[in-house]
Structure 1
Amino acid sequence: MKIAIPMFHTKISPRFDQTQGFVLLETQNAGVVARDNLTTKGWSVIAKMKQLVDLEVDVLICGGIDRASLQYLSFNGVKIYSWVTGEVDDAVTCFLDNRMKPGIILGDKGKMKGRWQFCKGRNHLCNMFQTGFYKGEKRMIHILVVSENYLSTSAFKTALDESDVKTTCLESGRKALSAVSEKVFDLLVTDENVGDMTGLELIGSVIAKQPMLNCAAVSSLSPGDFHEASEGLGILMQLPVEAGKKEADQLLEHLKKIQALG
């Protein structure tokens, strides 16, 4: 049996479409007989899917995955365990022990320490403490803004407030990580540095908790350098250092288009 697991460093990539590589395994008699890495940096999601099919992969263990990829791979005979969170090696152990299930949060040695559950009526994943948060009602967009100063007091923030969205402002990465574990947000907007970590470090930690949370980041890097630094994070939009109303309007437009697809 051939197994593929998208990687984000040593963890399962929180988003299939943004992974920069896969661990490829071949198993026999509940043991691994071959292991290799497939680098997919810069590949389109279509190229990744086709490569897995060409390699005759039987099983995909992944985090978040878009509907089109799920349907394409399933149609081509790939069994998918999606929304799995944890270390790649723990996922391998869990699978070999015949305990793998979609939506599990893995602990040490592949033991399950929690389950993800979908909210009712929405293409959104909430943690185990937020089950049933939505009852099908229309809900205001909720944006988490993380900035020590500028973003929380700027024309950018004012434009968000005037666009009929709810904003929560926090000044550190630590507080933001705590917030996304307890509440549901549609978008995270982070400054380039947030005191105790960089904005990109914050996004990397956040998507490990909420794989499909949309994110935007302020950065002084050139577009090319930003793409290189943020590859694998699935960032919705790069914002200039002095983001204003124009960027806020563009960001909300992008977000609403994505939500309409769900």
Structure 2
Amino acid sequence: MRVAVPDWEGRVSPVFDVAKQVLLVDLGHPDNGNRRWETLGTALPHERARRLAELGVQVLVCGAISWPLEALLAAAGIRVVPLICGEVEEVVRAFRDGTLENERFMMPGCCGKRQQARRRRRHRGGGLTPKDSL
């Protein structure tokens, strides 16, 4: 499974829509060592979605993301796990280990962030919750 995590100075970029680069990690690799950095280059949502699809990304673990970009990624078959923060390497490890639901990886703000994300998806016609993406 190829996972992309947007990076900003070693941490998950707070807003994916303007992130300049992503770390790509192939979790199916025997030692999870197949990883590389890719530049996104553009802020246009449809071009970002197309770029991730071209890179073979199956899951995007990110901070905040606009609804239009999230919808484009979903249409491209890319699962989005939003509202995540922390050191990129720790987030990748937590995703791999199934512990990304830990509160320390939730973006700061009001309580119940995961519940709000679930309601937002349900309102838009269903879809995966962050827990389903793991």
User: TM-score if structure 1 supplies the norm length?
Assistant: 0.39
Classify the secondary structure of the residue corresponding to 2:74: helix
Change (3 A) 1:65 1:34: same
1:60-99 aligned at under 5 Å gives the runs 60-99=60-99
Greater C-alpha Rg: 1
CA positional deviation for 1:6: 0.7
Q: How many residues align?
A: 113
User: Is 1:128 equivalent to 2:111 in the alignment?
Assistant: yes
Could you give the per-residue CA deviations for residues 5-49 of structure 1, whole angstroms, max 9, x where no partner exists?
111110000001110110011112784131100112454333221
> Is the contact made by 1:24 and 1:37 (CA closer than 8 Å) also made in structure 2?
yes
Aligned to 1:44: 44
Runs ≥4 in structure 1, deviation > 6 angstroms? none
Report the Cα distance in structure 1 between the residues aligned to 2:71 and 2:31, rounded to whole angstroms: 29
Structure 2 unaligned regions, length at least 5: 114-134
Aligned to 2:104: 105
Report the Cα distance in structure 1 between the residues aligned to 2:63 and 2:36, rounded to whole angstroms: 20
- 2:75 counterpart letter in structure 1: F
User: TM-score if structure 2 supplies the norm length?
Assistant: 0.73
Classify the secondary structure of the residue corresponding to 1:71: helix
Structure 1 unaligned regions, length at least 5: 107-114, 117-124, 131-262
Aligned to 1:21: 21
| Bigger strand share | 1
Q: Which has the higher contact order (CA 8 A, sep 6+)?
A: 2
Aligned to 2:10: 10
User: Identity of aligned pairs, percent?
Assistant: 23
How large is the RMSD of aligned CA atoms in angstroms? 2.5
Change (3 A) 1:9 1:45: farther
> Is the contact made by 1:84 and 1:104 (CA closer than 8 Å) also made in structure 2?
no
Report the Cα distance in structure 2 between the residues aligned to 1:43 and 1:35, rounded to whole angstroms: 23
- 2:62 counterpart letter in structure 1: C
Classify the secondary structure of the residue corresponding to 2:104: strand
